[in-house]
Structure 1
């Protein structure tokens, strides 16, 4: 489901994108010089390899659950929960089960 994102309207984040079998789907809501807001859907077995960013990033899980490693420490984050990945610290994400998340990155 590829719904258009319109500012000033209510958005049901869990319905904006669907899962793709064996893949990762993303949809960017906002991109400015100061940050981004992106929705992701990870199918089971998918993930993002370890990397770091020069600014904090907040992951808000909206469906399912994710394994998020920060500095090698694994955290299970479930629907309705969030975690802040600190700037300049290595982190990675993995879907033992499929999950959707809203990623907020603010440069500063």
Structure 2
């Protein structure tokens, strides 16, 4: 058993989206993404299904040329290989659930290229 928090020790950065692996289980990787208002993750694809949960804030979540406004408490799932992007409308805390087979370094590459 392991207990962690998605809302403690927040370190937002004005210049860069901040990610941190909060938990790794036998079946998933739970990642916290901190986005300041206006920060963008350009269109990208995950190789496996993902779950995105907005813990705080508000984002525009683009999927296949449609934009969905997600607010605190909203959750969305996507199958693998579906193009999507994120734009923070407010400072936001996002929980990203990746497959155990996926790699947090891939998320960092998306951020670097955004």
TM-score computed with the length of structure 2 as normaliser: 0.76
Where does residue 15 of structure 1 map in the other structure?
8
Does the 8 Å contact 1:56/1:86 carry over to 2?
A: yes
TM-score computed with the length of structure 1 as normaliser: 0.80
**Cα displacement (A) at 1:32:** 6.4
Aligned ranges for residues 55-94 of structure 1 at < 5 Å? Answer: 55-94=48-87
Per-residue CA deviations over 1:17-38 (Å, capped at 9, x if unaligned) read 2322243111112346854210
**Equivalent residue in structure 2 for 1:40, among 33, 45, 48:** 33
Matched, 1:96 2:89: yes
Does the 8 Å contact 1:55/1:88 carry over to 2?
A: yes
What is the number of residues matched between the two proteins?
A: 101
- What runs of 5+ residues in structure 1 fail to find an aligned partner? 1-6
Per-residue CA deviations over 1:20-76 (Å, capped at 9, x if unaligned) read 224311111234685421001101111211011221111100111111111111111
- For the aligned residue pairs, the C-alpha RMSD in angstroms reads 2.1
Q: Which runs of 4+ in 1 moved over 6 A?
A: none
TM-aligned CA distance change 1:61 to 1:29, over 3 Å: same
CA distance in 2, matches of 1:81, 1:44: 18
Structure (1/2) with the larger helix percentage: 2
- What runs of 5+ residues in structure 2 fail to find an aligned partner? 102-114
